[in-house]
Amino acid sequence: MIEQTINIFIVDDHLMFIDGLKAILKLSPEIVVVGDATSGEEALQKIENLDIDVLLTDISMPKMKGDELCRLVKAKNSMIQILALTMHNNIEIIDTMIKAGVSGYILKNTGRKELLEAIHAIHEGRNFYSTEVQESMLKKYIKNGYQTIGDPSLNIETSVYFTRREKQIMKLIIEGNSNAEIAQILLLSIHTITSHRKNIYSKTSVNNTAQLIEFVRSNAIYL
């Protein structure tokens, strides 16, 4: 089966970085780089006449910053998915970019595998955050008493019902506790916690803690 083509546009103020990305992406036949720009202003002019699926953008650029570019791109074409590719692992910047409309946020020290995973994920309508970014989000999430970050207007209501016990366990999972540690904290058997975790993952259609964090965040679930 022929894989669907993903049209990519790259925005970064360093030509050498753009050339490096092109070389990496060229190795994946399903990905086509349809254009690039070294500034937000140039990008807005070029994308007018291009069919773009995913926009890869830096954040710290001269004149127009990445968050402003994202808002303007989304205003022009909300179907374009945006992936922030940056050196900044700062929760305030991450939050600003989420509010601006990015679907993914990864760091420039990432490898080819994670870059491709991120591109495919947001092209399929999912969010993607690198491991380091997820850790920063989690620290802010816990510090704020499990208040969501990002734009509340983008959160969707979930029809999934969680019992009080499930919410207790979800909170402890997100805090990084193992099944054994949760069992000790709640004075329950490991078997019971394992069963609860399995049910929680099934209800939320996730496979790991990182995905559970994103589910709780994006659905504005208060634990």
What's the pLDDT tens digit per position in 173-202?
887 788 899 999 999 999 999 999 999 999
- Which CATH class, in words, describes the domain spanning 155-218? mainly alpha
Q: In the prediction, which pLDDT does 150 show?
A: 44
- The secondary structure of 41-75 as a DSSP string is HHHHHHGGGS--SEEEE-S--SSS-HHHHHHHHHH
Residue ranges of the chain that CATH labels 1.10.10.10: 155-218
Burial 38-47 (b: 16+ CB within 10 A, else e): bbbeebbebb
Least confident stretch, 80-84, 146-150, 214-218: 146-150
Higher pLDDT, 80 or 208: 80
Residue ranges of the chain that CATH labels 3.40.50.2300: 6-138
Summarize pLDDT for 6-57 with one digit per residue, the tens: 999 999 999 999 999 999 999 999 999 999 999 999 999 999 889 999 999 9
Those residues whose C-beta lies under 8 Å from the C-beta of residue 60, and which sit 6 or more positions away, are 66, 86, 87, 88
Q: In the prediction, which pLDDT does 142 show?
A: 57
- Architecture of 6-138 per CATH? 3-Layer(aba) Sandwich (3.40)
Residues 86, 56: contact at Cβ < 8 Å?
no
Summarize pLDDT for 119-174 with one digit per residue, the tens: 998 898 878 888 788 777 766 665 555 444 444 433 334 457 888 899 899 989 88
